[in-house]
Amino acid sequence: MAILITGGAGFIGSNFVYEWVNHSNEQIINLDKLTYAGNLENLKALKNQGQHIFVQGDIANQELVGQLLEKYQPRAIINFAAASHVDRSIKGPEDFVMTNVVGTFKLLEAARHYYSNLTDQNKAQFRFLHVSTDEVYGSLLPTENGFTEKNPYQPNSPYSASKASSDHFVRAYYHTYGLPVLTTNCSNNYGPFQFPEKLLPLIIHNALNEKPLPVYGDGTQVRDWLYVTDHCQAIMTVLENGQLGEVYNVGGFNEQKNIEVVKSICSHLDKKRPRAQGKSYSELITFVTDRPGHDKRYAIDATKINKNLDWAPKETFQTGLEKTVNWYLDNQAWTQSVTSGEYRKWVDTNYAARG
């Protein structure tokens, strides 16, 4: 038996590969385009591991996907592939439409053709699991309950709009063609291998290099933080036990203001890697102009997956954050390898004008 995943050299995808190899004997075929955020360094520990097969390619290449499906006959497809950074979507929305909307459509078409030719027994086993985001639901007021699977879609950025569109296509392929789909909408992930344009690795990287720690607006935006390994285990749970056609919201039950997250990182670093002359890393915090359409609060109500599938996160924000800081301290060579000239150019472009 085998599964095919897309985007498996990225942050969540690579963590999923390790979780899969550690908990299953099934082969995992990993298709990734290797854009700036996809990195084979994430998977180097599996280089000589026959259970993991890496293929460089685009999910929009329907012919290639079809060939992989015919060759390996997977019992499931898990779609992690996505352009995912809101700031980049504001600067260049077309890439997000092409990857998240057109790419998902092409992947669904390849899956539909493959599924139609399976035996009845294999059809009963097959699943198409689409990994999405809580950002499709828009923004919450401070007193509102967390997003449930019944919340209407109200995306506010090109990124979240593109993911909302992909979610709708996945739903349509279930209702129109009978493709056995599942969708997960997760809250903010953090942990090892996250590209340092996202908040936690950006703050850690800048702090260790004595650079300003940029915080949008007043830093009071609230996010629900989900440790990446908990997310991967939730996906495995949905894959095996989820009800076809259903959506499952996956959250960490860890709402935090951005400024508090940054201060917590500084506190960990103050203890683990003290600055010269006893200064705190928090002195590097710099408030910058907020980004357009910045959602004020996200929060996930994960009651459904908890009640129906018996899943709950194992990490608190405190335990997950400590593991994350320790990983980046122990793997600074990885961070240096991915913060290329293109990365530095992006950071300069995105934050310099906001100072």
Reading the block at residue 62, the tokens are 């329907």
Reading the block at residue 310, the tokens are 């018996």
pLDDT at 116: 98
pLDDT at 348: 59
Mean pLDDT of 272-301: 93
Q: Which of 23-37, 224-238, 331-345 has the lowest mean pLDDT?
A: 331-345
Query: Percent of the chain beyond pLDDT 90?
Result: 85
Q: For residues 93 and 86, give the distance between their C-alpha atoms in angstroms, rounded to a whole number.
A: 9
Q: For residues 26 and 351, give the distance between their C-alpha atoms in angstroms, rounded to a whole number.
A: 44
* Among 251, 234, 254, 249, CA closest to 310: 234
Active site residues: 134-135, 159
The pLDDT-based confidence of 28 (bands split at 50, 70, 90) is very high
* Among 66, 74, 59, CA closest to 28: 74
Q: For residues 214 and 287, give the distance between their C-alpha atoms in angstroms, rounded to a whole number.
A: 6
Mean pLDDT of 287-303: 91
Tell me which amino acid residue 217 is. Answer: G
Q: For residues 24 and 264, give the distance between their C-alpha atoms in angstroms, rounded to a whole number.
A: 35
pLDDT at 344: 52
Between residues 88 and 186, which one has the greater pLDDT? 186
pTM of this structure = 0.93
* Among 301, 174, 330, CA closest to 244: 174
Cβ neighbors of 3 (< 8 A, separation 6 or more) are 20, 26, 27, 28, 29, 74, 75, 76, 77, 78
* pLDDT score of 214 more than 80: yes
Which pairing describes strands 255-257 and 222-227: parallel, antiparallel, or unpaired? antiparallel
Q: Using alpha carbons only, give the angle 86, 7, 22 rounded to the nearest 5 degrees.
A: 120
* pLDDT score of 347 more than 60: no
Q: What is the pLDDT of residues 250-283, one digit of tens each?
A: 999 999 999 999 999 999 999 999 998 889 999 9
What DSSP string describes 65-83?
HHHHHHHH--SEEEE----
Mean pLDDT of 220-241: 97
Give Dmax over CA atoms of the chain in angstroms. Answer: 69
The pLDDT-based confidence of 49 (bands split at 50, 70, 90) is confident
Query: Percent of the chain beyond pLDDT 70?
Result: 95
Q: Which of 6-15, 293-302, 329-338, 343-352 has the lowest mean pLDDT?
A: 343-352
Mean pLDDT of 206-229: 96
Q: Which of 44-53, 78-87, 168-177, 346-355 has the lowest mean pLDDT?
A: 346-355
What DSSP string describes 221-257?
-EEEEEEHHHHHHHHHHHHHHPPTT-EEEE--S-EEE
The pLDDT-based confidence of 293 (bands split at 50, 70, 90) is confident
Q: Under a CB-based contact definition with an 8 Å cutoff, are residues 15 and 193 in contact? A: yes
Supply the mean pLDDT for the chain.
Answer: 94
pLDDT at 351: 46
Q: What is the pLDDT of residues 116-157, one digit of tens each?
A: 999 999 999 999 999 999 999 999 999 999 999 999 999 999
pLDDT at 291: 80
The pLDDT-based confidence of 58 (bands split at 50, 70, 90) is very high
pLDDT at 339: 81
* pLDDT score of 343 more than 50: no
* pLDDT score of 94 more than 80: yes
pLDDT at 212: 96
Q: Which domains does the chain have, with CATH numbers?
A: 2-188+226-253+296-314 (3.40.50.720)
